Amino acid sequence: MNDRPFRVLGIQQVALGAPDKGALRALWVDLLGLTPVGSFRSERENVDEDICLAGRGPFAVEVDLMQPLDPARKPRVNEPPLNHVGLWVDDLAAAVAWLDARGLRFAPGGIRRGASGHDVCFVHPRGDDAHPRSGEGVLIELVQAPAEVVAAFDALAPAR
């Protein structure tokens, strides 16, 4: 029996970093044809980011093109170049509580509003003594799926 009180619905985003996001934009927007839909800038997170979409509607995947505001300061959003992967979850608060109780390490900051306006929380790429479970080297963003995304995934789900 599965006691997990949440579901991972799919990929919400892939975040890519470079010293200069211009090269990323030339590839992802100019050559591959993704649609720019916004931008985000944060001194605290040391990021200047363009938000692009692949696909449409509730199944669109965000591709974030990021560069550090200050290359000498952390976090360095361009290291590694595949910065993080975002996953839609249907109940973020329940996911964080359940995963924390099982020893998963989260990055500082807790649940907060993300660049695209959804509540988010990050799984730390490395464990520690108090929280031995981690993203196994990958920064993972858990993203609260809005009701329309949950409904779209439920409409495609096989009957249980």
**Superfamily of segment(s) 8-156:** 2,3-Dihydroxybiphenyl 1,2-Dioxygenase, domain 1 (3.10.180.10)
- Specify the pLDDT at position 160: 55
Segments making up each domain of the chain, as ranges: 8-156
Tens digit of pLDDT for each residue in 13-66?
999 999 999 999 999 999 999 999 999 999 999 999 999 999 999 999 999 999
The pTM of the full predicted model, rounded to 2 decimals, is 0.91
Q: Which of 74, 72, 88 is nearest to 14 (CA)?
A: 88
Q: What percent of the chain is modeled with pLDDT above 70?
A: 98
The three-point CA angle 90-93-96 to 5° equals 100
Tens digit of pLDDT for each residue in 100-118?
999 999 999 999 999 889 9
**What are 145's two structure tokens?**
């799926």
Pairing of strands 119-123, 82-89: unpaired
Tens digit of pLDDT for each residue in 111-153?
999 988 999 999 999 999 999 999 999 999 999 999 999 999 9
